[in-house]
Amino acid sequence: MLFKQQVLLRQKLLVLGSLAIGSLLYLVARVGSLDRLQPLCPIDGRFGPRGQAEIPLRALQFKRGLLHEFRKGNATKEQIRLHNLVQQLPKAIIIGVRKGGTRALLEMLNLHPAVVKASQEIHFFDNDENYAKGIEWYRKKMPFSYPHQITIEKSPAYFITEEVPERIYKMNSSVKLLIIVREPTTRAISDYTQVLEGKERKNKTYYKFEKLAIDPNTCEVNTKYKAVRTSIYTKHLERWLKYFPIEQFHIVDGDRLITEPLPELQLVEKFLNLPPRISQYNLYFNATRGFYCLRFNIVFNKCLAGSKGRIHPEVDTSVITKLRKFFHPFNQKFYQITGRTFNWP
């Protein structure tokens, strides 16, 4: 009897051992496949109207981790070649506007696994010295990506710089252009607030917003003040339309991106011909910061820098009324050109 029990015990141990070894081999094979960066699943949508190859979506941890290492220069040329990584020119550019929410838009779009962002503003097209370095210099400023991912960069000064539309057109006449706007008076005050903070940090004095925005000689809106000029969106857009059709632009509501980001991001996904991948799971409201933060996965969250969401100084209500009255006809024309209407006063 004891002998039979020993035999049965040995048989059970053999079965359990086989199962354990089998499970271990499966895990090793699984990890090996992940190390080779095989796609977990294909995308069901395609980039562009011509049915180009499917975009291979990799696991987010590899996109955030391994690509980050390559951007830091920690990869050999052989590793880059093996993983089929490239530095490609952007297929979409956030061209403006300053203090409209360009950084928030770029970071939120980076939630999409088919999007790779340039971390810094390149200032290639608006800076003569950088532009003289050539298109290859610009391309090498781009992050490593997989061939079917979309590289996006943002430089808000592009929107208001006269030479930029022609220069971007010469690079790629079919590039997609993103413009994020806020209510013009609010944007102008935000612009002023950022400059004011910089002055205060250097212990320098600065004029009040009212004195800059209103011409003291005429008591009318001072159109020479850059913060005011930038908010005349239609004037700048008309210059871009000399080179690009309106269909190549997408207007993002910067005010709504703050309070209700997901619908705005879904519109951008559609404009870029990307399958919907950004969900409410990726966005959560941070009550301490007062705006939405980003959730890439179960362990990696990110909020924008503390410099975002600055408290604006109080501005004389009569000046605000004057500015809104000034911007009103320009806003109406902007609505007409873009086909998008905002609830601006």
**Residue ranges at the known binding site:** 99-103, 182, 190, 292, 308-312
CB 179 within 8 A of CB 250: yes
Q: Please report, in range form, the residues annotated as the binding site for 3'-phosphoadenylyl sulfate.
A: 99-103, 182, 190, 292, 308-312
Q: Is 94 helix (H, G, I), strand (E, B) or coil?
A: strand
Of 99, 117, 154, 322, which is the active-site residue? 99
Do residues 128 and 188 lie in contact, with contact meaning Cβ atoms separated by under 8 Å? no
SS (H, E, C) 278-326: CCHHHEEEECCCCEEEEECCCCCEECCCCCCCCCCCCCCHHHHHHHHHH
Is 91 known to be catalytic? no
Please measure the distance between the N-terminal and C-terminal CA atoms of the chain and give it in whole angstroms: 93
Contacts of 258 (CB under 8 A, 6+ apart): 101, 104, 291, 292
- Whole-number Å distance between alpha carbons of 265 and 178: 12
Give the span between the Cα atoms of 251 and 139, in whole angstroms.
26
Catalytic amino acids? 99
